[in-house]
Chains A and B, each alone.
Chain A
C-alpha cells in the first residue's frame, strides 16, 4: 500500500511539474496574453479526481513556486490558487458529475475569480490598473480543459493512480 502511495505521488508530481514549466515557457508576444493557466487546470483536475491527495496545501506550495518563477509579489498566486482549489475541493463531487462542457464553463468562472484575486491583491498592494487582457487566459484555459480533461483521465486510469 505504501509503495502504491509513493508511486502515485510520482505520477501526480510529474504532471504538476510539466504544468509549472508550461506556465513559464516563453511564448511569442502575440500569444503571450492567451497563455492558459496550466498549473490551475492540472491542479483542478487532481483535486476533482483525488481530493484526498491534492488540495489546498499542494496548491499553495505550487502557487508560491509560481510567484518565485514569475517574480510577482510572493503569495499572490499562492492565495489565488488556494482559493480556487478550496472551492473545487469543497465541490469535487458535483464537479465530477458535470459533463465536460459544464466543467469547462465552471472552470471559466473559477479562473475569472483566480485572475480577479490576483488583480485585486496587486491593486491593493501596488495600485495596478485593470485591462480586459488579464481575463483572456480564463477563456483559453476553459477551451484547453476540453482537451486536457480526457488526457489526464486517460493518464490516471492507465497508471491506476489513486
Chain B
C-alpha cells in the first residue's frame, strides 16, 4: 500500500519553491546576460530530443527525393540551368563592379571590403512558440557559430544567432517581438530602426519623424550601424505609411524580405571586423 498522499504542506512547500525558482529564472533570463551561458549548456543537453523530433521530417524529405519523378527532375534541371545562366551574367558585371569599387575605395583611402566567410546551415524543423519567433539550425559551437552572428537567406536578412549549443544554434528571427535591426532606406539613405511585432509578416519602424521622406514600396537594407549586421543586405519593404498628426511619429509598417516562415536553409556570415566599423 502506498502512503496516502495527504501531506498538504509538503506539496504547497514544493510549489512555493518551484514558484520562486520560476520567478528567479525569468528575471535572470530577461534582465541579465548570464542566462546565455546556462542556455548554451542546456541546449547541448536537450539537442538529442530535437534531433529525434526532427527525424520524421528528415525521412519524409529524403523519401520524397527518392520518389520524385524523372520528368520533374529534368524540368527542375532546365530551370536551374537557366537560372545559373542569368546569375552568371550578373556575376560577370559584379566582378567588374567589385574591381571598380576597390579602385574607388583605394582612391578615397578607405578600407577595401573583404569577402566574409559563409556557411550554409539547415533549419531543423522544430516547432516554436508564437511568443518567440526563433528557429534551430544544425550548426553550433563546433562550427564556430557565435551569439550575435548575422543570419541571411537567399533574398535577405533572417535574424541573428542568440544561443549556441555544441551542434545546434538558435536563431532569433527579425519578426520576434524583442528583435530590432538598424536599417537605411535604399532610395535616400534615411536611417531607421525596424523592430518585430510578433506577426510573421509585419514589422514596424520606430520613431520616424512626420516629415521623413518614406513611401510605400521603399526597400530597407541594413545600415551597418549597431555593429552586428554588415552593410547592405535587404531587410524589409515598406508596406504602409500612415500619417496621423495626433501621434508623435509616423506609423510605418514593413514586411520582411526573407520568407521567415518557410525557411529550409540559411547562410551564416562571419563579417569582417573592419566591415562593421
Contact = CB atoms under 8 A, between A and B. Distances in A.
B104 interface: no
Nearest to A121: B26
Contact of A52 (B3, B30, B125): B3
A78 B18 contact: yes
Contacts of A32: 127
Nearest to A50: B2
A86 B11 contact: yes
Interface in B139-165: 162-163
Interface in A48-106: 51-52, 55-57, 59-60, 64-65, 68-76, 78-79, 82-83, 86, 89-90, 92
Contact of A75 (B26, B42, B50, B54): B26
Interface of A: 17, 20-21, 23-27, 29, 32-33, 35, 51-52, 55-57, 59-60, 64-65, 68-76, 78-79, 82-83, 86, 89-90, 92, 118-119, 121-122, 125-129, 131, 133-134, 162
B52 A21 contact: yes
Interface in B34-80: 35, 38-39, 42-43, 45-46, 49-50, 52-54, 56-57
B35 A74 contact: yes
A150 to B, nearest CB: 23
Contacts of B125: 26
Contacts of B127: 23-27, 32, 35, 70
B148 to A, nearest CB: 16
Contacts of B8: 90
Contacts of B29: 73-75
A73 B8 CA distance: 30
B22 A24 contact: no
B22 A72 contact: no
B14 A57 contact: yes
Interface residue range, chain B? 35 or more
Given A68-B42, A70-B128, A129-B198, A92 B26 contact: no
Contact of B130 (A27, A59, A134): A134
Nearest to A21: B53
Given A26-B57, A75-B26, A133 B130 contact: yes
A52 B11 CA distance: 10
B131 A122 contact: yes
A53 B212 CA distance: 63
B5 A56 contact: no
Would you call the interface of chain A mostly helix, strand, loop, or mixed?
A: helix
Nearest to A22: B53
Contacts of B185: none
Given A24-B127, A74-B35, A64 B57 contact: no
A136 B135 CA distance: 22
B50 A92 contact: no
Contacts of A128: 131, 177, 198
A64 B25 CA distance: 9
A74 B11 contact: no
Contact of A73 (B2, B38, B56, B132): B132
B160 to A, nearest CB: 13
B19 A82 contact: yes
A82 B18 contact: yes
B5 A73 contact: no
B2 to A, nearest CB: 6
25 contacts: A26-B57, A52-B3, A56-B15, A57-B18, A65-B49, A70-B128, A70-B129, A71-B162, A71-B163, A72-B132, A74-B29, A74-B38, A76-B22, A76-B26, A78-B18, A78-B25, A83-B19, A89-B5, A90-B8, A90-B11, A92-B5, A121-B26, A125-B26, A126-B30, A133-B130
Nearest to A134: B130
Given A24-B49, A56-B14, A75-B23, 6 more contacts: A21-B52, A71-B129, A71-B136, A72-B132, A86-B15, A90-B11
